[in-house]
């Protein structure tokens, strides 16, 4: 069974002994597997910045480089020439890609396995953080390595304090209503007006809206600008108030992550709290 991951990773390691050298060797081999597309049915590379012993090379592809029949980077490319240096003591990589996996382990899954089998003292020389989401559910993974353990990043910032994200991308955002009974005709008209306002404001498409007898909702990806989370929250609050007035259940789901050219580690989502709609966010 295949599944799709979209991953941003930042990895840094300093080689101090044979134990850290072993971790580095596995990280490099993993990058070679990714480059060849081992265990990847399809996918795209968006960004990679490789730094070896202080020397860096950056490649931006805007999701245009495909994993497939041939390696993304050939042996004579700047990336592979840097990776093939004989004595690497400092290694850093910042990478973002999307991949449909068939039988391989990448991203958070690979790093978790590597940490479990590596010497804990050697992990003190490894820095790692990841932001990952999937096609099989609406969840995400936000973690960093602390004292040899992968730790989940809990909400830690007010959205107004996250000022360096240019755009937020919601991979699988859902907003609408469900009912225990069929909707009344007048209610459908009012919901259609709400949906029309959402469509026009965020440049959405008719096919993104689902109309069932007992549920009406938006369900697809959505992009909002840096200044727009507060605006989307206001729109969600309108839906929330409408649901309360008409005794409907609010459908609200989806996580937003940065879609900037250079990978950034942050997330936000909206949830219902004691005071209505709340914004939950983190930057790390």
Per-residue pLDDT of the chain (284 residues; tens, 9 = 90+): 678 999 999 999 999 999 999 999 999 999 999 999 999 999 999 999 999 999 999 998 878 788 887 899 999 999 999 999 878 999 999 999 999 998 779 999 999 999 999 999 999 999 999 999 988 777 899 999 998 899 999 999 999 899 999 999 999 899 999 999 999 999 999 999 999 999 999 989 999 999 999 999 999 999 999 878 999 999 999 999 999 999 999 999 999 999 998 999 999 999 998 889 999 999 99
3-state SS of the chain: helix, strand, coil percent to 5? 30, 40, 30
Residue 157 has what pLDDT? 92
Residue 129 has what pLDDT? 98
Catalogue the long-range contacts made by 225-234 (C-beta closer than 8 Å, 24 or more residues apart): 225/166, 225/167, 225/168, 226/163, 226/165, 226/166, 226/167, 226/168, 228/168, 229/159, 229/168, 229/256, 229/268, 229/279, 229/281, 230/159, 230/160, 230/279, 231/201, 232/202, 232/270, 233/270, 233/277, 233/279
Domain 159-283: give its CATH code.
Answer: 3.30.70
Q: Which tokens hold the place of 215?
A: 């549920």
Residue 241 has what pLDDT? 97
Read off φ and ψ for residue 106, nearest 5 degrees: -135, 170
Q: Which tokens hold the place of 250?
A: 């609010």
- Give the bridge partners for 96, in sequence order: 8, 47
Residue 250 has what pLDDT? 97
Residue 107 has what pLDDT? 95
Taking the domains of the chain in order of start, what are their residue ranges?
3-152, 159-283
Residue 108 has what pLDDT? 95
Given a contact cutoff of 8 angstroms between Cβ atoms, the answer to whether 53 and 90 are in contact is yes
Q: Which residues, including other chains, have CB under 8 Å from residue 56's CB and lie 6 or more apart? A: 49, 50
Evaluated on CA atoms 276, 161, 200, 204, the torsion sign reads: negative
CB atoms closer than 10 angstroms to residue 14: 14
Q: How far apart are CA 150 and CA 143, in angstroms?
A: 6
Residue 97 has what pLDDT? 96
Residue 1 has what pLDDT? 64
pTM: 0.90
CA 133 to mean position of chain CA atoms: 5
Q: Which tokens hold the place of 264?
A: 């950034």
Given a contact cutoff of 8 angstroms between Cβ atoms, the answer to whether 268 and 284 are in contact is no
Q: Which tokens hold the place of 108?
A: 């958070």
Q: How far apart are CA 228 and CA 221, in angstroms?
A: 15
Q: Which residues, including other chains, have CB under 8 Å from residue 99's CB and lie 6 or more apart? A: 4, 5, 7, 34, 40, 42, 43, 67, 106
């Amino acid at each position: 069974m295949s599944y799709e991951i979209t991953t941003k990773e930042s990895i840094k390691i300093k080689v101090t002994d044979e134990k850290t050298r072993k971790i580095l060797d596995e990280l490099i081999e993993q990058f070679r597997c990714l480059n060849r597309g081992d265990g990847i049915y399809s996918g795209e590379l968006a960004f990679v910045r490789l730094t070896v012993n202080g020397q860096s090379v950056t490649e931006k592809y805007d999701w245009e480089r495909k994993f497939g029949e041939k390696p993304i980077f050939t042996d004579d490319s700047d990336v592979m020439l840097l990776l093939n240096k004989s004595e690497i003591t400092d290694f850093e990589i910042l990478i973002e890609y999307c991949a449909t996996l068939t039988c391989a382990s990448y991203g958070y899954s690979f790093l978790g396995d590597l940490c479990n089998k590596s010497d804990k003292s050697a992990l003190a020389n490894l820095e790692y953080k990841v932001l990952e989401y999937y096609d099989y559910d609406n969840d995400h993974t936000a973690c960093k390595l602390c004292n040899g353990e992968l730790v989940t990043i809990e909400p830690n910032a007010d959205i107004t304090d996250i000022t360096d994200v240019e755009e937020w991308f919601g991979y699988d955002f859902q907003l609408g209503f469900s009912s225990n009974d069929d909707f009344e005709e007048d209610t459908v008209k009012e919901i259609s007006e709400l949906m029309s306002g959402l469509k026009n404001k965020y440049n959405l498409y008719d096919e993104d809206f689902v109309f069932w007898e007992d549920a009406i909702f938006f369900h697809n990806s959505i992009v909002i600008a840096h200044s727009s989370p507060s605006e989307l929250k206001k729109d969600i609050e309108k839906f929330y108030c409408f649901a309360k007035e008409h005794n409907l259940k609010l459908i609200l789901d989806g996580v937003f992550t940065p879609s900037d050219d250079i990978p950034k580690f942050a997330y936000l989502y909206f949830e219902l709290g004691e005071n209505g709609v709340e914004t939950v966010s983190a930057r790390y």
